[in-house]
Structure 1
Amino acid sequence: MYIKYINMSEKTCHCRIELHGWDSDASAWYGPDELAFRPDGCRHLVRRLLELPGSWHGMLRSKVPGEPRLALRASFHDLADAGLGTIDLDGSPGGPLQIVLVVPASRRTRIRPELAFEFASFLRFLDGPEATGTELAIHDHIQRVLEQAAGAATLVFSIETRGILPEVRVHLSQQAEKLIMAMIACMAKKDGSGAIADQVLAA
């Protein structure tokens, strides 16, 4: 899923985000792409995430110009070394349409050796991706990136689990970026990097 549709202001902080995306149609990775940290629009979501100790489940309301509004189910889990998020169309069968793994730069030293394996296993448990046999490619890429990552970049792995209609993909892209920004801010606040969360809450 190509996260590029969201329309936010140009307020940014010094938070480098490296996005790796899995395209379900091509059954292949794309990126890495640089993702700007844009806090506008996720202030209320960050507050909701910070109210709970480690997990959140709720609804995201998507509004795209020229399209009907759409309700999406979402979740966030703080795994101590990373953050796990899911997004799904409310009422759709099967597993989540989108699953994201966010590894903040500040948590790089905490990464468990089995993180990539556990994430790939979690994908299969949730009935995704749709194409069988893709878990190994997903695991190997994440494992390689985690082992070779250098610098102060937050790593984001965004997995689209199955093909979706273009009009739904626009909504999903918008809300996936919103969830990613909120996850980064929430984990930064918990890790003592309050400047990022403060910028979001002041937006």
Structure 2
Amino acid sequence: MDAMRILMDEHQSLAAIIHAIRHMISEIGAGRLKPDHKLLEAMVHYLDAYPEKRHHPKEDEFLFGPLRARTHDADAALDRLEAEHAQAEARIAVLEAAVKGYAQDPVGGFEAFRTAFNAYAEFYRTHMMTEEREVLPLIRKHFTAEDWDRANAGFIADDPLSGSRATAKDGDENFAHIFSKLVAAAPAPIGLGAGPYKEG
């Protein structure tokens, strides 16, 4: 089941970035780490461009929609998840404003950024747990072979971590490369501590 494998890989990479940011915020707050504002902004951009714009649409099209056609058992959870997907732009706007505010005001903006990011992280923890504990078991139970074929093909055709996209566009980002750069720039023990984040 390639769709399930890719989905879980994407969840794990998202959880890793969220964990990295929370760890850095904790270390900055404790005075043990100097903030790298470009790295924090790059991580927030990754959260927008990867899970919000690429991951969620695949879930809606290839998993949630077909599941609705097979059973009503997941309707309540799917209503909640799809509403949360639709709120992506507003959710990211709050985070982007907070990280930019922190860069502009390193003293006064820190607490606002920490509060905004902790809220975002808690939202995603609950969101992914709902998907994995309530929805994925029902997908495994109710999907037909045809549903799986379509879901697998859809996820393989747009697998950001492998760099595949059936309809690649100019400006598409190489998320595997970006993820590697973020991990390299993040301080130990969550990353390699290779130094300040550099774009490109």
Q: One fold, TM greater than 0.5?
A: no
More helix by share: 2
So what's the TM-score if we normalise by structure 1? Answer: 0.25
Under a length normalisation based on structure 2, what TM-score does the superposition of the two structures give?
A: 0.25
Q: Which of structures 1 and 2 has the bigger CA Rg?
A: 2
